[in-house]
Amino acid sequence: MDFLHIDDLTPDQLRSVLTRAMAVKRDPASVYDHLVHRSVGLFFQKPSTRTRVSAELAAAETGAHPVVLGQQEVGMGSREAPKDVAGVLDRYLDLIAMRVFDHQDLIDVATHAEAPVVNLLSDLEHPCQALADLQTIAEHRPFEGAVVAYVGDGNNVLHSLMVGATMLGMEVRVATPAGYEPDPAYVAKARRYGAVEVTNDPYAAVAGADVVYTDVWASMGQESEAEERARLFSPYQVDLRLFESAAGDAIFLHCLPAHRGQEVTDEVIDHPRSRVLDQAENRKHTFKALLLDLLE
Ligand code: CP
Ligand code: NVA
């Protein structure tokens, strides 16, 4: 099975990965040698801190052998076609995890590799991030009936979060500037599971929400648009006033890296109810649970 999209898991499988992640977090030693002699490739076409470190450690701490590869050495799409990279890596590795620009490259690799292929972020989705987001929400309150408000760019992180959250019984409210809404195909996908409201009004989205989430206004690969986006997105900054319009015990989430002073103010990201470091930590626990699910 590949994990390119959050809904490559059924809602029951998603719940079970999260339950396992919580068990692994409580007792890391319980899975120390579960994947001995298995090999996990971690390929990056874009920079990474959390994904690189958490995935490499998740593999090592379950006994697997991580092999980290960069685009400079592999040259996927320039030195070698994704199809050929897939065929070769498939002969060496038990699982191939990749961070790419073009989601189609992941599909091509998955088509030509028998090993499970995992999306470590593409232009369309960031499903491993969503696993950690969902674990962090579960640590705050029950999923059923929770309201998740996402403010900012309708991007890869939102796509996976929106579908994952509705799969687990949450309501999602999204506020973006006009023209930066999430892909309508993802809104439709999420609406098959639960309620999703898309608006251009950040206060309408955040009112009474249990979780307030934002991400950078310009994702990796969109650097040339950063200045224009900063102008357009400034009314969507998560500042204390906006955060305080959420529920009294609401938590703040951000996948990180954050651009302090742009999509979020210091007061909010450093707020006692900000859970961004738990979220980053949970990347490791959820990746372990995913590896165990795919390789055991
Ligand atoms: N959240 C996340 O994926 O961070 P990195 O880009 O540092 O891996
Ligand atoms: N949306 C961001 C997420 C980084 C983890 C990006 O794609 O750059």
Q: How far is the CA of 187 from the centre of ligand 2 (A)?
A: 19
6-125+283-295 has which CATH code?
3.40.50.1370
Mean pLDDT of 4-14: 98
Is the C-beta atom of 226 inside 6 A of ligand 2?
Answer: no
Report the percent of the chain where pLDDT is more than 70: 100
* β-bridge partners, 119: 98
Please name which ligand lies nearest the alpha carbon of 256. 1
Is the C-beta atom of 120 inside 6 A of ligand 2?
Answer: no
Q: How far is the CA of 99 from the centre of ligand 1 (A)?
A: 10
Strand ranges of the sheet holding 171-175, from the earlier edge strand across to the other edge? 196-199, 171-175, 147-151, 211-214, 251-254
Confidence of residue 290 (pLDDT cuts 50, 70, 90): very high
Rounded CA-CA distance 78/99 in Å is 16
Any idea where the domains of the chain sit in the sequence? 6-125+283-295, 140-274
DSSP letter string, 63-117? T-EEEEEEHHHH-BTTTB-HHHHHHHHHHH-SEEEEE-S-HHHHHHHHHH-SS-E
Please name which ligand lies nearest the alpha carbon of 218. 2
Q: How far is the CA of 257 from the centre of ligand 1 (A)?
A: 6
What mean pLDDT, rounded, does the chain reach? 98
Same fold, 6-125+283-295 and 140-274: yes
Please name which ligand lies nearest the alpha carbon of 49. 1
Pocket of ligand 1 (CB under 6 A): 48-51, 121, 129, 255-257
Is 140-274 a domain of CATH 3.40.50.720? no
Q: How far is the CA of 40 from the centre of ligand 2 (A)?
A: 23
Question: What atom in ligand 1 is closest to the CA of residue 51?
Answer: 8
Q: Convert the pLDDT of each residue in 77-133 to its tens digit.
A: 999 999 999 999 999 999 999 999 999 999 999 999 999 999 999 999 999 999 999
Question: What atom in ligand 2 is closest to the CA of residue 48?
Answer: 5
Write out the catalytic residue numbers.
Answer: 99, 126, 129, 215, 255, 283
| pLDDT score of 98 | 98
DSSP letter string, 262-280? TTB-HHHHTSTTB-HHHHH
